Amino acid sequence: MSIAWCEAEIYGAFASSPGQSDKPPKHTITVRYEFVRQVWRDAEHLCEFLRSIPEGHGYDKLYDFWGDRTKLPSCFNKKEHVRNMFVAAITWVYFHELGHLMQEHGIIRDEFGPRGDKAKKTTEVHDCEVTQGKLINGREALVSHVTELAADFEATNFYVIELIRHCLNPDFADDHERPEVFSGLLYLMVCGLSLVFFRFNGNKPILPIAAVEGSHPNPLTRLELLIPQIFEKLDLDIFRTAAGYALDRKQLVLLCTKAAFSATLYWSVTHTENHEFDTRFLLHGIMSRPATLQYLQPIVVIWDEMLPKIRAVRRFGSPRGLMYFTDTARSRIKSVITWGSGPEASATATAPSPLDAATS
Ligand SMILES: [Zn+2]
């Protein structure tokens, strides 16, 4: 596999493959300079913003929900906050592209996508492009969305494993420092990941829709799916023992949601017209969003259809990198009541709330 750089001033990256499963893979990940530049600036600005919140200010008090007003981990200095956030964000995007290539999504899109006149050979999968103007719908959109979610899942699996791998390295942190460094890194990783999706999302608040439209799922819906995947995976005792952290499930949820909240607060205050905190940008978790659950209905069906083919063409990687839906998630998605009389009816949009667990 090779990595290429592209000078076009577009925020994004893409994966390309000739898509021939009977020949050795020839994979390329192309990263745009503009994307890297913007991620660095966003990380810098987020850190500056968080540091500039005056003690006792309304925004400062919002952190009482998490029982601690610390907004950036004290085990790192200013430069390290930005660097870790930046590297984490571009690493996740790299892993996402790798996920497309590992699962040969070009082949999958050709096989499961539209047939006949609309069919075209797919050799490139573009991502995060804010300016992408192509509007697709129907079967093409559905196949595109599900492969995006599958690449997200594969990327996030790598993301967590890399965090654990870092913490296992004795040169990285000693036994005494490790728990704090782990928490700090995880926090900055979630901040970085959130920034990528807020930038991709732009200045519109979350508006979950059930329809499958366009080439990519709603960026903030993707984030709502990914964050629980991170804390659910880290809640496995095998990782807890190996990486030397003692955070229980609740603490992991609080740490990850606090990091996502910091990015949400920053984004809504600095990138919206009114320049104030806007609760419509808050992540709630997909289980409290009937429209998102409805959106996932055809996603689950087509994923079940294409998974055997993905298994057949995927040449390497842990089976844990393949997206799955638990029975609980399937049943909630299948039985969602969209007219307001189901459990979703009590969902409110007023206060920061930990994301739902068990989404993937
Ligand atoms: Zn993608």
Tell me how far the alpha carbon of residue 131 lies from the centroid of ligand 1, in angstroms. Answer: 15
Q: Where are the beta strands (DSSP E) in 34-188?
A: 124-127
Tell me how far the alpha carbon of residue 83 lies from the centroid of ligand 1, in angstroms. Answer: 24
Tell me how far the alpha carbon of residue 341 lies from the centroid of ligand 1, in angstroms. Answer: 35
Tell me how far the alpha carbon of residue 102 lies from the centroid of ligand 1, in angstroms. Answer: 12
pLDDT attached to residue 129: 53
Tell me how far the alpha carbon of residue 208 lies from the centroid of ligand 1, in angstroms. Answer: 19
Tell me how far the alpha carbon of residue 140 lies from the centroid of ligand 1, in angstroms. Answer: 14
pLDDT attached to residue 6: 87
Tell me how far the alpha carbon of residue 128 lies from the centroid of ligand 1, in angstroms. Answer: 7
Tokens of 12: 């994004």
Tell me how far the alpha carbon of residue 97 lies from the centroid of ligand 1, in angstroms. Answer: 6
Backbone angles phi, psi at 169, to 5 degrees: -70, 115
Sign of CA dihedral 211, 213, 218, 222: positive
pLDDT attached to residue 269: 96
pLDDT attached to residue 133: 53
Contact 104, 17 (CB under 8 A): yes
pLDDT in tens, the chain (360 residues): 899 998 888 888 888 888 777 788 888 999 989 999 999 999 999 999 999 999 999 999 999 999 999 999 999 999 999 999 999 999 999 999 999 999 999 889 889 987 654 545 556 677 655 445 567 888 989 999 999 999 999 999 999 999 999 888 888 888 888 899 999 999 999 999 999 999 999 888 888 889 999 889 999 999 999 999 999 999 999 999 888 899 999 999 999 999 999 999 999 999 988 899 999 999 988 888 899 999 999 999 999 999 999 999 998 899 999 999 999 999 999 998 766 545 555 554 443 444 433 333
Tokens of 234: 């880290």
pLDDT attached to residue 343: 52
Tell me how far the alpha carbon of residue 148 lies from the centroid of ligand 1, in angstroms. Answer: 5
pLDDT attached to residue 152: 97
Tell me how far the alpha carbon of residue 216 lies from the centroid of ligand 1, in angstroms. Answer: 8
Tokens of 264: 């949400």
Tell me how far the alpha carbon of residue 11 lies from the centroid of ligand 1, in angstroms. Answer: 13
Q: Write out the DSSP string of 315-338.
A: -SS-GGGS----HHHHHHHHT--T
Q: How far apart are the first and last CA of the chain?
A: 29
Tell me how far the alpha carbon of residue 96 lies from the centroid of ligand 1, in angstroms. Answer: 6
Spatial separation of the C-alpha atoms in residues 7 and 30, rounded to whole Å:
10
Tell me how far the alpha carbon of residue 61 lies from the centroid of ligand 1, in angstroms. Answer: 37
Quick: pLDDT tens for 309-333: 999 999 889 999 999 999 999 999 9
pTM, two decimal places: 0.90
Tokens of 161: 């494993």
pLDDT attached to residue 175: 85
Tokens of 309: 């083919």
Tell me how far the alpha carbon of residue 147 lies from the centroid of ligand 1, in angstroms. Answer: 7
pLDDT attached to residue 259: 98
